[in-house]
Structure 1
Amino acid sequence: MSGMPWVWGDAGSMSPLRAPEGYDGRRAVRAVPVAAPPEIVFRWLTQMAVAPYSYDLVDNRGRRSPRRLLDGCEPEVGRVMMEIFTLTAVEPDRLLELQMSAPGALRVFGRIAVVYRTLPEHGGTRLRCDVFLPPESGVGTLRNHLLAWGDLVMMRKQLLTFKALSERSARGFPAAPPAA
């Protein structure tokens, strides 16, 4: 698993930190350094309960993902995230594990799990996301390769958005004024 589309960013150790139970397919890793403490980065990740924070025109029906922290986004197992995933595991300030749960998305993409981690490091946090794709065989190999490229585009935007918002929050500025 080296190079794109399987790895983007400095992911640190490539060994899996923890794979969700029952996911033994191919893994893609995305990571970005963030100049903010893990608890701020994690708080922004919980906002996936209301929006995907990627390309809003594509995956949020054209609505802008909130640029300020909202109340009511506490991570609870069973909560729907980004409309097509369900939160399956939480380690406060450290980990969010999501599994694809929307029937239409499961038909198109297969079983996918996504694990977001905030890894403390000198001067901030490494925000790492491991994407676990379905096992490969036949057409599944091509599907996973296409999924990895599509995910790379969307996840890169998402992680860079969380980086910018977290760093702004860490500097003591609200991410954006409340919408009028």
Structure 2
Amino acid sequence: MTPTTPAQLDAVKSIIEDGQSDLLRRARSPVVLTSEQAAAFVEGFPGEVERLGLDAEAIAELVGGERDVFTSACSDQLAGLHGPADRPCPARPWVCLLCPLAVFMPRHIGNLLRLESFFLRQFRQMPTEHFVRVFGPFAGRLSSGILPKSTEEARSRGAREVAGDDTDLPLRPEESTS
């Protein structure tokens, strides 16, 4: 189908722009900080601070855990990136893995490991093509972009915290795999 009216052409251009913006957001490296790095975040990462639109109060809230969501700290839950602006973000926990507003810290490792277990179960239960379409980008970001950047100590502590139990995942009934 070819757009024939100016309104249709504008709609197609808008869809293309949205898709390109989404690709650029996903291509950004995740912000993964150790406890020590979190303390020096403002000085060491001025570009990230500016990109995330953070002020001193917001940084204190991020570092202190006040902006935590299940898998990360969120620099602006009301931004409307995954839902209506000025309302809490409705995204599923794995969406944070690709979100440019997410900041991952050692205190999130336990929940990230829970999510990794969820992905492994989904992979075993779903046809591969379906898993790749639904969870592939998120699982890839977690296993190659986030967890490897955390310290061995944080991963060990997270593994002890989880101890093979990922029942704390905030899943909808239809998403449960156990």
Bucket of the pairwise TM-score, normalised by the shorter protein: under 0.3
TM-score (norm 2): 0.28
Higher relative contact order, structure no. (Cα contacts within 8 Å, ≥ 6 residues apart): 1
Q: By percentage of residues, which structure has more helix?
A: 2
TM-score (norm 1): 0.28
